[in-house]
Chains A and B, each alone.
Chain A
Amino acid sequence: SAVISQKPSRDICQRGTSLTIQCQVDSQVTMMFWYRQQPGQSLTLIATANQGSEATYESGFVIDKFPISRPNLTFSTLTVSNMSPEDSSIYLCSVEKRDRLNYEQYFGPGTRLTVT
């Protein structure tokens, strides 16, 4: 299994500012993912962040708006830049852990962002 913590758990920010969300895992993992979950909706993948390489962004998400760092195998950050009210959402990081037969994805508790 994997235990994931995120900071902050929630924040209220003014439009035009930026917020960096931290994700810490209790063990080393190769693959980390960042998702956005808008109120009442499913999870949308923002990007995949593998250590040692640039993050891979999904359609509709760009590095200038959501820069990601992955300095080591247990930590990642997602920055939401130049925020607008449309960025209000829950942001979740997740990791994938694999053994010989199985692989599972574990999620952090999420960061609830409100932009005013």
Chain B
Amino acid sequence: GESVGLHLPTLSVQEGDNSIINCAYSNSASDYFIWYKQESGKGPQFIIDIRSNMDKRQGQRVTVLLNKTVKHLSLQIAATQPGDSAVYFCAETVMSGTYKYIFGTGTRLKVLA
């Protein structure tokens, strides 16, 4: 069957190199942002989050950068591994009547051996 991310922008990275995935968000009032990883046939999986009062947060091999001035979010993956191949989505949280998550377009990361 058709896999997730078939028509999404693709980033190809050599194994062992660093990956940078970018995301533009829409709402200047958003106060919380999350990166998700989605492998084929699975639901999105939480990777890392950041609040709007921060501009950088580090996890294990991943770093998220937030630039509120230009409403830009990035995910950096160090020493990219084959298991990192997936589709990556950013999401912003918005309070509009009810509290909800708005997902970005997504980027497919392909790790080359």
Among A39, A43, A50, which residue has its beta carbon within 8 angstroms of that of B44?
A: A43
User: B86 interface residue, CB < 8 Å from A?
Assistant: no
Tell me whether A104 and B99 are in contact in the complex, defined as CB-CB below 8 angstroms, given that A37-B4, A42-B89, A109-B43 are known contacts: no
A35 to B101, CA, bound (A): 10
User: A40 interface residue, CB < 8 Å from B?
Assistant: yes
Contact with A along B26-41 (1 / 0, CB 8 A): 0000001010100001
A39 to B6, CA, bound (A): 7
Q: What is the total number of residues of chain A having a CB less than 8 Å from a CB of chain B?
A: 29
On whether the beta carbons of A40 and B6 are closer than 8 Å, the reply is: yes
User: Which B residues from 60 to 108 make CB contacts under 8 A with A?
Assistant: 89, 91, 97-106
Contact with B along A1-24 (1 / 0, CB 8 A): 000100000000000000000000
A46 to B42, CA, bound (A): 19
Contact with B along A48-62 (1 / 0, CB 8 A): 101000001010000
Q: What is the total number of residues of chain B having a CB less than 8 Å from a CB of chain A?
A: 29
On whether the beta carbons of A107 and B43 are closer than 8 Å, the reply is: yes
User: A45 interface residue, CB < 8 Å from B?
Assistant: yes
Tell me whether A40 and B5 are in contact in the complex, defined as CB-CB below 8 angstroms, given that A33-B100, A45-B102, A48-B98 are known contacts: yes
On whether the beta carbons of A109 and B100 are closer than 8 Å, the reply is: no
User: B12 interface residue, CB < 8 Å from A?
Assistant: no
A45 to B98, CA, bound (A): 12
Contacts of A44 in B (CB 8 A): 103
Of all chain B residues, the one with the shortest Cβ separation from A58 is B100
On whether the beta carbons of A107 and B44 are closer than 8 Å, the reply is: yes
On whether the beta carbons of B100 and A45 are closer than 8 Å, the reply is: yes
Tell me whether A42 and B104 are in contact in the complex, defined as CB-CB below 8 angstroms, given that A31-B99, A105-B34, A112-B1 are known contacts: yes
User: Which B residues from 36 to 62 make CB contacts under 8 A with A?
Assistant: 36, 41-46, 49
Binding site for A on B (CB under 8 A): 1-2, 4-8, 32, 34, 36, 41-46, 49, 89, 91, 97-106
Additional pairs, 9, CB under 8 Å, beyond known A35-B103, A40-B8, A41-B7? A39-B7, A42-B103, A43-B103, A56-B97, A58-B100, A102-B49, A104-B46, A105-B34, A110-B41
